Amino acid sequence: MKWQKSKNINRGAAIISIFFAMLFFLLIGRFTHIQTTGVVDGQVLAALAEKKYTKQRTIEAQRGTIYDRTGQAIAQDTPAYTVVAILDETLPSHVLDPFDTARKLAPLLNMSEEEVIKILTKDKKQVEFGSKGRDISHSLKLEIEALEIPGIAFIRDSKRYYPNGTFASHTIGYAQKVEDEDKSESVTVGMLGLEKSLNDYLVETDGYLKFQSDNRGFRLPETEEQIVPPQNGNDIYLTIDQKIQTFLEDSMNKVVQQYEPKKIIGIVAHAKTGEILAMSTRPSFDPNVRNISNYLNDAISYRFEPGSTMKIFTLAAAVEEGVYNGEEAFQSGEYHVGRFRIRDHNKRGWGKISYDEGVQRSSNVAFAKLAAEKLGTDTLLQYLNRFGFHQPTGINIDGEVNSIINFTYELEKITTAFGQGSAITPIQQVQAATAITNNGVMMKPYVVDRIVDSSTNKVINDYKPVEVGKPISEGTSKKVLDILETVVTSENGTGQVYAVDGYNVAGKTGTAQIPNPTGETPYLSGHGNNIFSFIGMAPKEDPKLIVYIAVEQPKLKEYEKGSEPVSMIFNPVMKNSLQYLNIEPVKKKESPGPTRGKLGIEIESYVGTEVEQVMTDLTAKGLNVISLGSGKVVKAQIPTNGENVILGERVVLLTEGNVVMPDVTGWSLRDVMKVANLVKLKPNVVGKGYVFQQNLAPGTKLKEDDYLIVHLKPPYSPEESSELEDGEEGLEESPPID
């Protein structure tokens, strides 16, 4: 038995020995296999180790900056933060009470408590709060931190920031963060305007830093780092000038506040190169807030019947073809095309007048006759094409639309000559106007000046002025400018209100009809139901700027004209821009017609001088001096230092103290405007000629922004006077002409 027991023990020991031996060789084999292949269950061990012990930190890149022409940032990345909530209860700091957290956090993130609670009760270790919790400012971060809410933390980030707010917004557009497909991270993407169309240039690529770490994440000594540098987006430099754009935005804001128009469109262009120095529309938006009601850039995407601004190009065509004689007389009033009757805007015309006067008065009949009898509609169409109205300009902004030139029927051919029946865009008019201001050479408008590598400052794309045709000769352009100047300076001109002190302006008014959406009548009717516009070029002698302004359906008072909101934008924008560009003012020219003396009295600066002494000296020189205010010392004056005046001209002085309204009966509009400008009144003018009625009685105490309404009448019959503004274009159906 003893022997049998020993034998069993030995057998068991042998089996165990064999098992352990086999296990040993199996482990050795497995170890050798792993050592040889480096793979376990299909996974590469080296990769797993790399993943576990290699840490990677993102090095954030910046989206390219958009600059104006002077290097001022218009759109840029700025530091921001993302709010996160830690829900992992194994961590020392996590959200303890979702309901209390929601109560405190929701108002600061502009969210409802229900929204926040829904996020805080998710089965996740960490959550974000969507778009409301991203791109928060440093000040809001501090405000949230002050509440000391457990589990609320912040991730440093960046956001797209537009320092000027509402500023060329439809041109610049906006960019915002959007989540990628797996919602693991968000990226900044251009959504509108140049931010969208140039997104591929602006987009950035983050870099990273890799290093070996221990189990706690600390970098291991004597290990190499792998650095992939970030690639910032390219920078965009525009032709937009921040100063000029600000002039435009500020003036538009005032008109919006006072007149509440449906639309405003404004463009300022370099008259020789086609560079867009400013472009804006209303309604607009702040790209930081994205309060957008209209996603279209109306300066390039809104085509409409332009009205009488189109007469510029019909006039240029007639001059170029040698068929325009400004001194030739024609019968104004009406012109028949088949069974239709084209009428002048005052419904009756002005009798027999010259074609030059027809331009000044914006006579539809004059331009109908030019198109039908002088130029010929086939030739007119050729010039419309030469001026670029048959195709988009190709400006480097997305969203431009083409014109609709209706030129099938005889009536359409003729009405297109004075801006009715065909629809074109504002930017097409500006491009065509460059031929008038640039010696006959038409320039393509553009808004992007260059694209630059932000790391090396190497220019990637450089945009230069591009000639797109020469529709007219240099001589024609000069003659057209001379004629258009009289639209502003002539006593018959519809553009008198667009005169800019110190500069000679050439331009053309427009009052476009708006198609009636109900179809009951072809066009809307009623006071203010038009698109009022003006395209002006200055200085006339050698134009540097083209300014186009259009205001649609302003809420006008009964005594107000459509030119008033337009001039509220055009005049300060043109004057301030010319002064900003250091364009020297011109000496005032002697007024046409008889004068009461000779030119040659140069006004000095009397600011700081006693009023009585100034009045005595100027009266002795034959000038008519008016003093406003109860003070004894001059603080402002019109005319200003260096201006030439004629004998008998009024000089208005302003002092400290109470200012009362003078009796301006019999005064010219120019003299009334001296008072209005000095006291900063808001003038409204009815009629033309000389003052016969004023709303502020003589002796009324004046304060800034008072309305001054003056009624003017000419020294001749009112029936013969011009209304001094384009009215609704006259087109009526009439019996057939025998």
Question: Does residue 465 surpass a pLDDT of 90?
Answer: yes
H or E segment and range at residue 178: strand 174-179
The answer to whether residues 542 and 562 touch, using CB atoms and an 8 Å cutoff, is no
Residue 591 DSSP one-character state: P
Of 628, 639, 579, the residue nearest 604 (C-alpha): 639
Counting every residue written for the chain, the total comes to 738
Distance, CA of 594 to CA of 576 (rounded, Å): 33
Sign of the Cα torsion 121, 126, 130, 134 reads positive
The CATH label, of 3.40.640.10, 2.30.30.240, 3.30.10.20, 3.40.50.1700, for the domain at 601-720 is: 3.30.10.20
Distance, CA of 42 to CA of 86 (rounded, Å): 35
459 three-state secondary structure: strand
Sign of the Cα torsion 615, 616, 617, 623 reads positive
The answer to whether residues 368 and 731 touch, using CB atoms and an 8 Å cutoff, is no
Q: What is the pLDDT of residue 643?
A: 79
Give the domain 62-167+175-192 fold.
Penicillin-binding protein 2a (Domain 2) (3.90.1310)
Q: What is the mean pLDDT of residues 77-98?
A: 87
Q: List, for residues 149-195, the tens digit of each pLDDT value.
A: 998 988 887 889 999 999 999 999 999 888 765 545 678 899 999 99
CA dihedral 558, 532, 566, 67 (to 10 degrees): 150
- How far from each other are the two terminal CA atoms of the chain, in whole angstroms? 150
Q: Tally helices (H) and strands (E) across the chain.
A: 20, 36
Task: Give the pLDDT band of residue 36 (cuts 50, 70, 90).
Answer: low
Distance, CA of 454 to CA of 537 (rounded, Å): 37
Beta strands across the sheet bearing 650-655: 624-628, 650-655, 634-638
Sign of the Cα torsion 183, 189, 192, 196 reads negative
Sign of the Cα torsion 673, 675, 680, 681 reads negative
Q: What is the pLDDT of residue 48?
A: 44
Tokens of 312: 């510029």
Residue 288 DSSP one-character state: T
What does pLDDT average to over the chain? 85
Q: 3-state SS string over 51-67?
A: HHHEEEEEECCCCCCEE
Question: Does residue 213 surpass a pLDDT of 60?
Answer: no
| C-alpha 693: how far from chain center | 39
Cα within 13 Å of Cα(368), Cβ side: 24
Question: Does residue 207 surpass a pLDDT of 70?
Answer: no
Task: Give the pLDDT band of residue 481 (cuts 50, 70, 90).
Answer: very high
Question: Does residue 105 surpass a pLDDT of 60?
Answer: yes
Where do the H-state alpha helices sit in 181-277?
A: 193-197, 199-202, 242-259
Return the higher-pLDDT residue of 427 and 126: 427
Among 54-63, 511-520, 654-663, the minimum mean pLDDT is found in: 54-63
**Please, what is the Cα angle at 300 between 294 and 304, to 5 degrees?**
85
Distance, CA of 235 to CA of 60 (rounded, Å): 17
Phi-psi region of 469 (alpha: psi -120 to 50; beta: other; left: phi over 0): left
Question: Does residue 240 surpass a pLDDT of 50?
Answer: yes
**% of the chain beyond a pLDDT of 90:** 54
| C-alpha 646: how far from chain center | 41
Q: List, for residues 41-77, the tens digit of each pLDDT value.
A: 545 444 444 445 455 566 677 899 999 999 999 999 9
Tokens of 717: 């019959």
Of 213, 422, 211, the residue nearest 303 (C-alpha): 422
Task: Give the pLDDT band of residue 589 (cuts 50, 70, 90).
Answer: very low
Distance, CA of 367 to CA of 162 (rounded, Å): 46
Q: What is the mean pLDDT of residues 396-406?
A: 95
Q: Burial-class residue 16 by CB neighbours within 10 Å (0-12, 13-18, 19+).
A: exposed
Amino acid identity of 148? E
Query: Which of 308, 332, 403, 490 is labelled catalytic?
Result: 308
Distance, CA of 513 to CA of 518 (rounded, Å): 15
Task: Give the pLDDT band of residue 78 (cuts 50, 70, 90).
Answer: confident
Beta pairing, strands 707-713 & 682-686 = parallel
Task: Give the pLDDT band of residue 89 (cuts 50, 70, 90).
Answer: confident
Question: Does residue 379 surpass a pLDDT of 80?
Answer: yes
Q: What is the pLDDT of residue 364?
A: 96
Q: Burial-class residue 653 by CB neighbours within 10 Å (0-12, 13-18, 19+).
A: buried
Which architecture, in CATH terms, is 242-580? 3-Layer(aba) Sandwich (3.40)
Return the higher-pLDDT residue of 642 and 458: 458
Q: Using only the alpha carbons of the chain, give its radius of gyration.
A: 37
676 three-state secondary structure: helix
Q: List, for residues 612-655, the tens digit of each pLDDT value.
A: 888 888 887 777 888 998 888 999 999 888 877 766 678 999 99
Phi, psi of 483 (to 5 degrees): -70, -45
Distance, CA of 363 to CA of 729 (rounded, Å): 10
Q: What is the pLDDT of residue 619?
A: 80
Q: Burial-class residue 719 by CB neighbours within 10 Å (0-12, 13-18, 19+).
A: exposed
Q: What is the mean pLDDT of residues 599-613?
A: 81
**% of the chain beyond a pLDDT of 70:** 85
Distance, CA of 357 to CA of 491 (rounded, Å): 10
Q: What is the mean pLDDT of residues 6-29?
A: 74
Phi, psi of 701 (to 5 degrees): -70, 130
Burial 610-619 (b: 16+ CB within 10 A, else e): ebeebbeebe
Task: Give the pLDDT band of residue 449 (cuts 50, 70, 90).
Answer: very high
213 contacts: CB under 8 Å, gap ≥ 6: 53, 54, 55, 219, 220
Residue 35 DSSP one-character state: H
The answer to whether residues 698 and 662 touch, using CB atoms and an 8 Å cutoff, is yes
Task: Give the pLDDT band of residue 424 (cuts 50, 70, 90).
Answer: very high
Distance, CA of 619 to CA of 623 (rounded, Å): 5
473 is an active site residue: no
Q: What is the mean pLDDT of residues 348-355?
A: 92
Strand partners, 43: 40
Name the pTM for this structure. Answer: 0.73
The answer to whether residues 401 and 303 touch, using CB atoms and an 8 Å cutoff, is yes
562 contacts: CB under 8 Å, gap ≥ 6: 511, 528, 530, 532, 551, 554, 556, 725
Question: Does residue 217 surpass a pLDDT of 70?
Answer: no
Question: Does residue 557 surpass a pLDDT of 90?
Answer: no
Q: List, for residues 245-255, the tens digit of each pLDDT value.
A: 999 999 999 99
Q: What is the mean pLDDT of residues 394-407?
A: 95
